[in-house]
Structure 1
Amino acid sequence: MSANKVKKLLVIGGRPTINWYNLFKNTSIGSYTIEVEFTMWDEMVLTSYSDSGCIISIMPSKYAIPDTPMNTRRTFQPDFLLIRGACQGVYGQDWRNELLGLMYCGIPSINSLESLYMCLEKPVIYSKLLQIHKQYKEKFPLIPQTYYPSWSSMSFNTGFPLVAKVGTVHAGFGKMKLENQEDFDDLVSLIALQNKYVTTEPYIKWDYDFRIQKIGDHYRAFQRVSSCWKGKGMNQTDNDVPVTDEYKRYIDLASKALGMDICALDGIHDPITNKNYIIELNDSAIGLVQRHVEEDLNYIKELVLSRMKQVYKL
């Protein structure tokens, strides 16, 4: 009797709240059964060989979901990747070497490993969005930005207030609002002690921010109102809104330029000029809105199976 034909799907995520084993239970593509393994970046050890591929060892997880293999050590070669955990953390965590190991062997992935590598540095993503803006002008309204490679290039500035972002920021971390030149000079004195680049952009007192989410061919749009200028805080509400032609154009242009199957585009709305400003593009590690989690996970599942069929011509 021949052995069962299996394709190994490795999901790399954050602290597990989703049972990926259940989501992909009893699924197959062609004559291959899909077997799932889940790990966090810091519970995975990998070695990549030019002649025999990538070998993954997953340590027993301290966050193991009951009735899954997560409390055991597993070693295998993945056939496909779903990346749902950020490759960098706000407290200095950085798993780019592991990402390079996956890229080394060319393992097919959602999102593409090349796009995930670009997302390690926000200025790289901004440069791609800027190319779109230069071509489409106001049809892709990207917020203006200035890049400083180090503190020594941060001279006198005008046009306050500004938002300064130190390095590759995440959520509300690494961002400051600068009201005047004195604030700017204070920031320069801090950056002088750090090996960090800085970007600045005009501060716009927005009435709502928006997020456009894309999972394969499925779209969602949200608008959020908050008492905090960063869009974070206790006093915030978010609502589903229609995916307008404008919103769809924004996310389609961005996702195509970066080669992303799962992404979210964030922006703000200026109530004075009635203009939108695109702020940033986020990769496949995006959080899902709780009220849509079950449906969106099924969209992710369908997308993964579809891509695996394409890759393996099944």
Structure 2
Amino acid sequence: MANLPNGYMTDLQRPMPPPPPPGPAVPPASPGDRPPSAPGPGGGGGGGGGFFSSLSNAVKQTTAAAAATFSEQVGGGGAGGGARGRLLLVIDEPGTDWVKLFKGRKIHGDIEVRVEQAEFSELSLVAQANGTFSVAIEGLRGGTKVVRTLRPDFVLVRQHAYSTARGGDHRGLVIGLQYAGVPALNSLHAIYNFCDKPWVFAQLVRLRRKLGADEFPLIDQTFYPNHKQMVSA
């Protein structure tokens, strides 16, 4: 929402103006005498063109902001990019093909962005206190187990790092990425905090105490450290 053009939401909520009253007939002007059409609410043509122009500008600004963040983080000499470009590790489920989305993308004019995509369950990581680290991706390719080792310059996490399902606790990998100092688009600190929902709600409660219940309303909850205390209560 912060990247939407100024007045975008106002334009969407603005009622359509009533049609002008019929005036005297005016002879059509020649093509050379026609003034340029006035821009619509979003900066484009009138009517529906203004809406789509605003939407297009919003998408362009959002993409530009993400690209700028990525460029700042990996603009220097990366750990594993070298002359071949910068390596981005995207942790996500296979529903989105991030390799295809970043195909042909470059930063700083001529630095290519290479993408490796994997799920948390396919990753393992080793990090040293001196800053060296390696990430291994283990997956099936054509029915054969394949293990690849890489050193990403940057990481984008699009998958939940913790769930109560069997094998769903991947907080160790988040800690490992933080330990290795790998830059991340979405903060690894925030990702780790959101693994524990009551911890996040506790931060919201603190904001409510500071701002007041009227300014910062929350759903009423009760916290129990374990199920035994909940049953007794």
Same fold (TM over 0.5): yes
Q: CA deviation at 1:119?
A: 1.0
Q: 1:89 to 1:61 in 2, by over 3 A?
A: farther
Q: Distance in 1 between matches of 2:184 and 2:96?
A: 19
**1:175-211 CA deviation, whole Å, 9 max, x = no partner?**
xxxxxxxxxxxxxxxxxxxxxxxxxxxxxxxxxxxxx
**1:51-94 CA deviation, whole Å, 9 max, x = no partner?**
24320111134699xxxxxx853211111111011112342321
Q: Distance in 2 between matches of 1:60 and 1:153?
A: 43
Q: Distance in 1 between matches of 2:229 and 2:86?
A: 51
Higher Rg: 2
Q: 1:17 to 1:155 in 2, by over 3 A?
A: closer
Q: 1:33 to 1:79 in 2, by over 3 A?
A: same
**1:81-122 CA deviation, whole Å, 9 max, x = no partner?**
110111123423211111111111121113211111111111
Q: Residue 53 of structure 1 contacts residue 77 of structure 1 at CA under 8 Å; is this kept in 2? A: no
Q: CA deviation at 1:151?
A: 3.5
- Is residue 140 from structure 1 mapped to residue 216 from structure 2 by the alignment? yes
Give the number of equivalent residue pairs: 149
- Is residue 50 from structure 1 mapped to residue 125 from structure 2 by the alignment? no
Q: Distance in 2 between matches of 1:63 and 1:129?
A: 47
Residue 20 of structure 1: aligned partner: 98
- Is residue 39 from structure 1 mapped to residue 118 from structure 2 by the alignment? yes
Residue 106 of structure 1: aligned partner: 181
Q: Which residue of 87, 91, 100 maps to 2:165?
A: 91
Q: Residue 21 of structure 1 contacts residue 37 of structure 1 at CA under 8 Å; is this kept in 2? A: yes
Alignment of 1:214-225 (within 5 A): none
Q: What code does the residue aligned with 1:29 have? A: I
What is the SS of the residue equivalent to 2:223? strand
Q: 1:61 to 1:151 in 2, by over 3 A?
A: same
What is the SS of the residue equivalent to 1:34? strand
Q: CA deviation at 1:128?
A: 1.2
Q: Residue 9 of structure 1 contacts residue 36 of structure 1 at CA under 8 Å; is this kept in 2? A: yes
RMSD: 2.5
Q: Distance in 2 between matches of 1:108 and 1:59?
A: 22
- Is residue 149 from structure 1 mapped to residue 225 from structure 2 by the alignment? yes
Q: Distance in 2 between matches of 1:73 and 1:103?
A: 23
Q: 1:89 to 1:62 in 2, by over 3 A?
A: farther
Q: Which residue of 205, 208, 217 maps to 1:130?
A: 205
Residue 276 of structure 1: aligned partner: none
Q: Residue 131 of structure 2 contacts residue 181 of structure 2 at CA under 8 Å; is this kept in 1? A: no
What is the SS of the residue equivalent to 1:37? strand
Residue 38 of structure 2: aligned partner: none
Which fold has the larger relative contact order, with Cα–Cα distance below 8 Å and residues 6 or more apart in sequence? 1
Q: What code does the residue aligned with 1:53 have? A: T
**1:15-71 CA deviation, whole Å, 9 max, x = no partner?**
x0111111011111114211100011111121112224320111134699xxxxxx8
Unaligned runs of 5+ in 2: 1-81
Q: CA deviation at 1:145?
A: 1.5
Q: What code does the residue aligned with 2:178 have? A: M
Q: 1:111 to 1:61 in 2, by over 3 A?
A: farther
Q: What code does the residue aligned with 1:135 have? A: K
Structure with greater helix share of residues: 2
User: What percent of counterpart residues are identical?
Assistant: 30
Q: Residue 88 of structure 2 contacts residue 113 of structure 2 at CA under 8 Å; is this kept in 1? A: yes
What is the SS of the residue equivalent to 2:83? coil
Q: What code does the residue aligned with 1:56 have? A: V
Q: Distance in 2 between matches of 1:125 and 1:61?
A: 36
Residue 190 of structure 2: aligned partner: 115
What is the SS of the residue equivalent to 1:148? coil
Q: 1:76 to 1:34 in 2, by over 3 A?
A: same
Q: Distance in 2 between matches of 1:44 and 1:9?
A: 14
Q: Which residue of 146, 156, 174 maps to 1:82?
A: 156
Q: Distance in 1 between matches of 2:142 and 2:165?
A: 20
Q: Distance in 2 between matches of 1:54 and 1:128?
A: 33
- Is residue 9 from structure 1 mapped to residue 85 from structure 2 by the alignment? no
